A and B are shown apart, each in its own frame.
Chain A
Amino acid sequence: MTLLSDIISASAHLHSSDQLPSDEYDRQIRELVEYFRRLQSTKSLHSLANDKSVLDPLLGATLVKDAMLRLDPSCAVFTSNHLLLVRLCLQAKAYSCVLPVLNKQICHFPISLGRSSSEPSVLCANNGSSVSFMTEASGVSSKLSYREYLQYFLYGGMVYMALKEWRNALHFLGIVISTPSTSSVSMIMVEAYKKWVLVGLLKNGKLCSPPSITAPHAVKVYQSLAMPYIILAHAFERGDLKRLNAEIDAATGVWCADNNVGLVSQVVGAFFSQTVIKLGKTFAALTVADLSKQVFPSPVCAEGVGSAVSSLVVSRALDATLVQTKGNAESSMLRFSSIHSLPRLSHELDLQSQLRQEMRLMESLVINLGETNNNLGLSDEYVDGLNKGQVWSGSSEVNPIVGGGRLDLRWMKI
């Protein structure tokens, strides 16, 4: 059998959920996933995408995704396969292929079993959580470092950017830029910050501050290394189209070198919509003619502006309504604070749907937190710490950790 037929056969088998694969079949799947992993590590992203002798990345992505979801449907344990999958999907430009994995919450790293277990964990349906069998020793994942972790969330953010899911993209990029660091800052984090600035403009129309947990020294590094992006964001925020275009032209080389040309061009496209949204904070309603004067420095065709505003409203990019009159397009009114809002029932249905999603997320997090708590309780470090605590309590010396049992509780009253 060739490798190609192996993959197609494997993929077809994985889709037929009523057939349980044999041990031999599982082994074959693992070998194929390992093959893709080696391929990824030996070839750069660019060369792999252009090398026709190598398998189509879409085939690889489909197989890896199916295998991952089969092995651990929750995908709660971060493995090297997560990174492999997201890279393959980016290469294949098959962005929605990775979403079943990307949309799941990662709560654990593969744990290392410090002491040899007499009864090794086995993979079976009754396992409460995948963290019990997705261990370092299981061979499911290769060794992970902070780099893989950062890359996964950066690439995941890029997938969401391609799908224009700006909120999710910001979330993923926020994870990268707020990763704890002691003194140095990874270049992956800097790249993520550059994209964070641009995605923030596209989503919120302003320069978004990094998440509050970001280390102050990291913020300083970001601000110095991403200066052209910050200048661009300031020009955008000021609503100065000429200045924005000038800044974009001045730093063309920077956008090209950072591979952010596409995002920057979208920022220009978003300028109109974001400016109109900002006008909504000042005005309750505007005619199309007045709106045109506010947004564009030089006169533009009223029909064009009317059509652009209509597109914004109809596509729900702008939360407003249009009131046409009998006359021409210029006399049409854009109403920001609309009395023509959707019936109350619609909002409640949306709210109920959101609550249900949040509830599912909370349930998943609670289960995984319990699992983490359990693992921490069984770890060598915790047991050692507990032993030391018992030794301290048995001696007359003062335990430096708990201060001889007299805890200073004043801070708890704050």
Chain B
Amino acid sequence: MELPPLTMELLSQLVASNAPPSQLFEALSRYELQACLIPIGSDSTLLSLFYSSFFLVHLLTDQLSEARALTKRIPESLLQQDPSLQNCLTLLRAVWQTQHGQVYQILRGLPWPGILQPLVRRYEGFFQDKTLIAVSRSYEAIRLATAATHLGLDEQLAKQEDPNIISNFTKCGWTWDPESKLLHPKPIVVSPTEPQSSDGIRKAMAMLGTHAV
């Protein structure tokens, strides 16, 4: 089955689709072969949007190291001149250094092309969820302003102990102590991605018994 040629319409359809990130990654991976054959001068806009989309999908699939490797594969002249690819580099630096506040600023404040907006919004949601889980496991007690910074909420409102900000956390099971002015997170448990079966350990032990002799 031949792959249809990479065009702006096809790319915008892919990016706007609600496909799972792994499927998006698979599809864009296959188009990278076509992208590396397109001369930079002939269609630099398409190339820029393709590589920016692919970069964001790497982040959506939590492949930070590979996203960094992608930035090394993008033609240097394109990378240095293109504003959306420069945004990607800034975003990569912030995510790499776990500067959560900066990540939200970059995603919300920098000018991203319209075609990339669906992916940028998706990544913002993904990053927020991922950070919420990490913070819930990392802190026993946390100041409201610190928690708000981690999750991209309004820091000024947090300092004023805004009830809406507090409710964002309490609805996740966290408790708010008005005396100490601290939040007490409840660790969020995420089951492994693999489908669980109830007899997994039994099978493993049975196998150990079979092959132990």
Binding site for B on A (CB under 8 A): 4, 8-9, 11-13, 15-16, 19, 56, 58-59, 62, 92-96, 162-164, 310-311, 313-316, 321-326, 335, 338, 340, 342-343, 345-346, 349-350, 352-353, 355-356, 358-359, 362-363, 366
Is the C-beta of B77 less than 8 angstroms from some C-beta in chain A?
A: no
Of the listed stretches B7-15, B154-162, B197-205, name the one at the interface; the rest are far from the partner chain. Answer: B197-205
CB 8 Å contact bits of B1-33 with A (1 = contact, 0 = none) = 111000000000000000000000000001011
Q: Please measure, in the bound complex, the distance between the C-alpha atom of A325 and the C-alpha atom of B179, giving whole angstroms.
A: 12
Candidates B33, B134, B139, B196; contact of A59 at CB < 8 Å: B33
Cβ–Cβ < 8 Å partners of A353 in chain B? 192, 194
Beta-carbon contact of B194 and A356 below 8 Å: yes
State the Cβ distance, B58 to closest chain A Cβ, in Å. 9
Query: Given A96-B63, A321-B139, is A362 in contact with B33 using a C-beta cutoff of 8 Å?
Result: no
Candidates B65, B134, B191, B207; contact of A164 at CB < 8 Å: B65
Cβ–Cβ < 8 Å partners of B192 in chain A? 349-350, 352-353
Query: Given A4-B37, A11-B33, A353-B194, is A324 in contact with B189 using a C-beta cutoff of 8 Å?
Result: no
Question: In the complex, which residue of chain B has the Cβ closest to the Cβ of A363?
Answer: B207
Beta-carbon contact of A362 and B211 below 8 Å: yes
Beta-carbon contact of B69 and A94 below 8 Å: yes
Instruction: Give 29 A-B contacts (CB < 8 Å), ordered by A residue.
Output: A9-B2, A12-B3, A13-B1, A15-B1, A92-B73, A93-B72, A94-B69, A95-B65, A96-B69, A315-B98, A321-B137, A322-B138, A323-B141, A325-B180, A325-B182, A326-B143, A340-B140, A342-B137, A342-B189, A345-B189, A346-B187, A349-B191, A350-B192, A352-B196, A353-B194, A355-B204, A356-B194, A359-B204, A362-B211
Candidates B98, B137, B140, B181; contact of A311 at CB < 8 Å: B98
Beta-carbon contact of B189 and A321 below 8 Å: no
Candidates A321, A342, A359; contact of B203 at CB < 8 Å: A359
Extra pairs beyond A15-B3, A324-B142 (11, CB < 8 Å): A15-B1, A56-B37, A59-B33, A93-B69, A310-B138, A322-B138, A325-B141, A326-B143, A350-B192, A355-B204, A356-B194
Is the C-beta of B129 less than 8 angstroms from some C-beta in chain A?
A: no
Query: Given A16-B1, A95-B69, A366-B211, is A324 in contact with B141 using a C-beta cutoff of 8 Å?
Result: yes
Cβ–Cβ < 8 Å partners of B182 in chain A? 324-326
Beta-carbon contact of A349 and B140 below 8 Å: no
Binding site for A on B (CB under 8 A): 1-3, 30, 32-34, 36-37, 63, 65-66, 69, 72-73, 97-98, 131, 134-135, 137-143, 146, 150, 180-182, 187, 189-192, 194, 196, 200-201, 203-204, 207, 211
Q: Please measure, in the bound complex, the distance between the C-alpha atom of A252 and the C-alpha atom of B202, giving whole angstroms.
A: 54
Interface of A is mostly: helix
Q: Please measure, in the bound complex, the distance between the C-alpha atom of A338 and the C-alpha atom of B187, giving whole angstroms.
A: 13
Cβ–Cβ < 8 Å partners of A56 in chain B? 36-37
Q: Please measure, in the bound complex, the distance between the C-alpha atom of A340 and the C-alpha atom of B190, giving whole angstroms.
A: 16
Candidates A4, A316, A342; contact of B187 at CB < 8 Å: A342
Q: Please measure, in the bound complex, the distance between the C-alpha atom of A312 and the C-alpha atom of B41, giving whole angstroms.
A: 43
State the Cβ distance, A169 to closest chain B Cβ, in Å. 12
Cβ–Cβ < 8 Å partners of B131 in chain A? 314
Question: In the complex, which residue of chain A has the Cβ closest to the Cβ of B135?
Answer: A314
Beta-carbon contact of B138 and A321 below 8 Å: yes
Q: Please measure, in the bound complex, the distance between the C-alpha atom of A163 and the C-alpha atom of B146, giving whole angstroms.
A: 30
Question: In the complex, which residue of chain A has the Cβ closest to the Cβ of B191?
Answer: A349
Q: Please measure, in the bound complex, the distance between the C-alpha atom of A335 and the C-alpha atom of B189, giving whole angstroms.
A: 20
Beta-carbon contact of A340 and B142 below 8 Å: no
Beta-carbon contact of B139 and A323 below 8 Å: yes
Cβ–Cβ < 8 Å partners of B3 in chain A? 8, 12, 15
Question: In the complex, which residue of chain B has the Cβ closest to the Cβ of A327?
Answer: B143
Beta-carbon contact of A313 and B36 below 8 Å: no
Q: Please measure, in the bound complex, the distance between the C-alpha atom of A103 and the C-alpha atom of B50, giving whole angstroms.
A: 29
Cβ–Cβ < 8 Å partners of B211 in chain A? 362, 366
Beta-carbon contact of A58 and B189 below 8 Å: no
Beta-carbon contact of A162 and B65 below 8 Å: yes
Cβ–Cβ < 8 Å partners of A316 in chain B? 134, 137
Beta-carbon contact of A322 and B139 below 8 Å: yes
